Amino acid sequence: MREVLDEIRRLEGRANALLKLGADAAGNLADEEDAKAEYKSLKDGLASRLKEVERRPPPGAEDWVVATFKAALRAAHIGMRTPTNTSPRSSSWRSSVHELADELSYYAATLAKGLGE
């Protein structure tokens, strides 16, 4: 199911953009606030999307695709353990965002392989 893979890749792209934004935040308060806001948006969005998928799986998706998608969302959300008000200058914030990107990358690769891409 290509749509699920595309969604995971979009989330991975947001995570990588967030890493860059966090790196740019050093010394720039506006970038720091933008990074915090994007981190919160991404964290809240992952939790919301996971609840939605658990209630209503993507139509026409095979069970293994749905299970992989749920696992990706769950692992990515769990990886974001740093509180949403933490400064992007913090090593725990950077670690959390790196873990998010890594989890999404892993599940995107797993799903792509399973789909034969």
Distance CA 58, CA 81 (A): 27
Asked if 76 and 104 count as a contact pair (C-beta separation under 8 A), the reply is: yes
pLDDT digits (tens, 9 = 90+) for 20-46: 998 887 778 888 899 999 999 999 999
Residue 96: give the domain boundaries: 2-114
Q: How far apart are CA 110 and CA 117, in angstroms?
A: 10
How many structural domains comprise the chain? 1
* pLDDT tens digits, one per residue of 67-117: 999 999 999 999 999 999 999 989 999 999 999 999 999 999 999 999 988
pTM: 0.92
